[in-house]
Amino acid sequence: MRSGVRVGVDVGKVRIGLARSDNHGMLATPVETVARDQAGLTDLARIRAVVVELDAVEVIVGLPLALSGNATASTDDAVEFAERLARALSVPVRLVDERLSTVSAQSALRASGRPAKTQRPVIDQVAATIILQHALDSERASGRPAGSPVEPTERP
């Protein structure tokens, strides 16, 4: 297992959840929820600040595929966001399958006794934590980084 903090990202239309790992890549924990900026300025700047503050070595972005494995509009949005993030950061960005992460996050919050009404501010953080923990567990099991690397592309 590679050492170093990783940052997990759950990209939504309105909010972006952030999570982090410990330096040993064992455990993911929630960090914060960032408001999505359709212009792509303040959200990317905040994520970049978190990555720098944590001295992260990698960013894991959830790839929302349909249960069938097919791409959706959300998939395209997450890929585009990951590409913009890769351009903005000096650390690698990887896309990792996140099917059912939000459903799992909702279940976990319900099981913890948190009322549905108070879940909205943290649901994205919990989803990011689940995505990152899955990536960490996958790397530990296989010996290879999870998901696929994102190459920063030039803007058209």
- The CATH code of the domain that includes 108 is 3.30.420.140
Q: Is residue 93 assigned to a domain? A: yes
- pLDDT, averaged across the chain: 87
| pLDDT at position 54 over 80 | yes
The pLDDT value recorded for residue 156 is: 47
| pLDDT at position 70 over 90 | no
Q: Is residue 81 assigned to a domain? A: yes
Which pair of structure tokens corresponds to residue 16? 């972006």
Which amino acid appears at position 104 of this protein?
S
Q: Is residue 110 assigned to a domain? A: yes
Phi, psi of 12 (to 5 degrees): -125, 170
3-state secondary structure 92-147: CEEEEECCCHHHHHHHHHHHCCCCHHHCHHHHHHHHHHHHHHHHHHHHHHHCCCCC
Q: What is the pTM of this model?
A: 0.87
The pLDDT value recorded for residue 8 is: 97
- Give the domain range for residue 116: 3-147
Q: Is residue 156 assigned to a domain? A: no
Q: Is residue 109 assigned to a domain? A: yes
| pLDDT at position 109 over 70 | no
Q: Is residue 155 assigned to a domain? A: no
**Region 96-118 average pLDDT:** 68
Residue 117's CB is within 10 A of a number of other CB atoms, namely 6
Q: Is residue 154 assigned to a domain? A: no
Q: Is residue 107 assigned to a domain? A: yes
Alpha helices, DSSP H, located in 22-72: 42-54
Q: How many domains does the chain have?
A: 1
**Region 11-30 average pLDDT:** 95
